[in-house]
């Protein structure tokens, strides 16, 4: 290239950059003329992109706020965030603990009953009801096991079998309430492990003015592998922000389905549990919309994390569907209630969007593919600006999460490796979550698949369990070949980097042995 040619290219490049910054390229820098069809596709794509970027920015800002509240809490460590007074034993109410079970490992049920026996609540004021949807022969076997254990542990426990197992978990709980005699209803998952003071703190809070109580839940595993360790880290650290930080900041007080203590009369006033898959979020919305007070105690509970990627994906897809179901059926109830604050209304919507938002990573990649096909070299300045501020606001969030992780027992290297793996897992799982989000918007029924507990035999079907992930990899390979043939070097490199990330992700989700 001669000196004059170099100067001309330099001046042209400078002129294009200046015009771009002045927003004189409303459709971005494009390498070929736009057809009417391409223009329509581009318009829709940009609207979706801008909407997701704005929503993502709002969510990250809110998470920064919540993470700061959580960090202040973990720094003071175990400072009670509920003003409660000790209650004399003779004034304590009778508590009925309800635990739905289905296809559960016997060892898991034994461990659960032993944990309940360790609670420092008076035994004469406590009963445990396992609501089972299992076949009669299996329930009879469990009854014998529990019968011998309850006498040994001194716990009043029994199994109730449902013949008509409809209504999902909410239906099982409503059935259990009919057989319960407590003024207080406690709901746990069979894998929930509570500290000995959990129930006493929860009941004390109820007696001091709260209507329902929950706690932050964290993870434990019975099968040690890279997936279970990663998920334990994610729940231990991220739930400090999503749950505790939200409560401490006056956000929407979402109840988690694995631990709940509530007055029976309050539960009756909202017609019990919704016989849907999202009964915990449904209950949270109904309680707050009626002005009931939901509190968070400082005793953490622990729940077993999945140990395979397909199990985690099924668990997460169930949460996603629950969120969208409640958004379709209960958002108007929350928004129109005069009992909730303005911030609770906004934060309630953000809570419902947190699981569908995982699909934003997939949307971003698919948008880039669409833009590359149309011939967009650089998107409009407004989109680049939104992408930049999203990237900037992630920095303080990452720093605060690091500080929180150090406080809850993770070292610097633990945080770095697990944070990178969680991002990798998010990108990989964003594609099925995008498909499930669309499906959830169209239907109201979802297959209820309980997350496996304990070390069970796992049937792993590569094609069936990873159909979405494999499909997008094939699509990206085809797009990359097309881009190479059309000499679009920059976009080819971007697609190649995404493809490399996804392929590396398979090393994480498909270990040699489970």
pLDDT at 80: 47
Each residue of 259-286: pLDDT tens digit?
A: 999 999 999 999 999 988 889 999 999 9
Mean pLDDT of 156-168: 87
The dihedral built from the CA positions of residue 84, 87, 92 and 97, taken in this order, carries a sign that is: positive
Q: How far apart are CA 183 and CA 350, in angstroms?
A: 33
Two tokens at 304?
A: 């077993």
Mean pLDDT of 28-52: 87
pLDDT of 175 above 90: yes
460 — pLDDT class (breaks 50, 70, 90) = low
pLDDT at 514: 41
452 — pLDDT class (breaks 50, 70, 90) = low
Cβ count near 477 (within 10 Å): 14
pLDDT at 496: 86
Residue 169 · residue 100 · CB < 8 Å: yes
pLDDT at 78: 52
pLDDT of 304 above 90: yes
Question: How far, CA to CA in Å, does 487 sit from each of 10, 133, 375, 478?
Answer: 22, 60, 11, 14
- Higher pLDDT: 90 or 442? It is 442
Residue 70 · residue 241 · CB < 8 Å: yes
Each residue of 124-155: pLDDT tens digit?
A: 999 999 999 888 888 888 888 888 888 888 88
495 — pLDDT class (breaks 50, 70, 90) = confident
Taking all residues of the chain, what is their mean pLDDT, rounded to a whole number?
Answer: 86
38 — pLDDT class (breaks 50, 70, 90) = confident
SS3 (DSSP) at 215: strand
pLDDT of 20 above 70: no
Q: How far apart are CA 428 and CA 405, in angstroms?
A: 24
């Amino acid at each position: 290239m001669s000196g004059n040619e170099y100067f001309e290219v330099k001046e042209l490049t400078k002129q294009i950059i200046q015009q771009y910054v002045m927003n004189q390229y409303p459709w971005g820098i494009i390498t070929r003329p736009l057809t009417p069809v391409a223009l329509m596709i581009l318009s829709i794509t940009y609207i979706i992109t801008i909407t997701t970027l704005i929503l993502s920015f709002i969510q990250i800002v809110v998470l920064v706020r919540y993470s700061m509240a959580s960090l202040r809490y973990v720094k003071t460590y175990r400072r009670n965030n509920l003003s409660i007074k000790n209650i004399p034993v003779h004034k304590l109410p009778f508590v009925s603990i309800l635990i739905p079970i289905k296809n559960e490992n016997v060892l898991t049920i034994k461990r659960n009953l032993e944990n309940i026996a360790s609670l420092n609540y008076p035994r004469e004021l406590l009963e445990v009801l396992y609501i089972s949807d299992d076949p009669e022969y299996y329930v009879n076997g469990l009854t014998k096991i529990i019968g011998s254990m309850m006498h040994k542990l001194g716990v009043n426990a029994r199994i109730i079998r449902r013949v008509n197992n409809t209504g999902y978990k909410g239906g099982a709980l409503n059935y259990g309430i009919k057989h319960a005699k407590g003024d207080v209803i406690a709901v746990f998952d069979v894998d929930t492990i509570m500290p000995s003071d959990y129930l006493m703190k929860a009941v004390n809070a109820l007696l001091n003015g709260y209507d329902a109580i929950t706690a932050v839940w964290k993870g434990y595993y019975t099968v040690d592998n890279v997936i279970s360790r990663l998920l334990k880290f994610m729940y231990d650290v991220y739930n400090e922000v999503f749950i505790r930080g939200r409560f401490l900041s006056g956000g929407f007080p979402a109840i988690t389905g694995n631990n709940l203590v509530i007055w029976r009369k309050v539960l009756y006033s909202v017609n019990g549990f919704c016989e849907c898959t999202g009964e915990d979020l449904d209950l949270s919305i109904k309680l707050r919309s009626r002005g009931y007070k939901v509190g968070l105690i400082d005793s953490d509970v622990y729940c077993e994390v999945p140990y395979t990627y397909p199990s985690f994906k099924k668990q997460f897809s169930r949460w996603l569907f629950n969120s969208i179901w409640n958004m379709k059926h209960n958002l108007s109830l929350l928004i129109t209630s005069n009992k909730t604050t303005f911030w609770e209304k906004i934060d309630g919507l953000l809570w419902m969007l947190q699981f569908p938002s995982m699909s934003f990573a997939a949307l971003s990649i698919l948008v880039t593919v669409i833009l590359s096909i149309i011939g967009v070299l650089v998107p409009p300045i407004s989109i680049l600006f939104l992408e930049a501020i999203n990237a900037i606001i992630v920095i303080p969030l990452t720093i605060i999460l690091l500080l929180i992780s150090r406080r809850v027992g993770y070292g610097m290297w633990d945080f770095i490796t697990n944070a990178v793996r969680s991002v990798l897992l998010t990108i990989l799982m964003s594609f099925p979550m995008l498909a499930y989000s669309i499906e959830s918007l169209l239907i109201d029924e979802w297959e209820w698949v309980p997350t496996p507990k304990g070390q069970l035999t796992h049937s792993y079907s590569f094609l069936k369990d990873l159909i979405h992930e494999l499909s997008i990899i094939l699509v990206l390979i085809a797009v990359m070949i097309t881009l190479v043939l059309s000499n679009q070097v920059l976009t080819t490199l971007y697609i190649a980097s995404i493809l490399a990330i996804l392929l590396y992700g398979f090393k994480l989700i498909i270990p040699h042995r489970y």
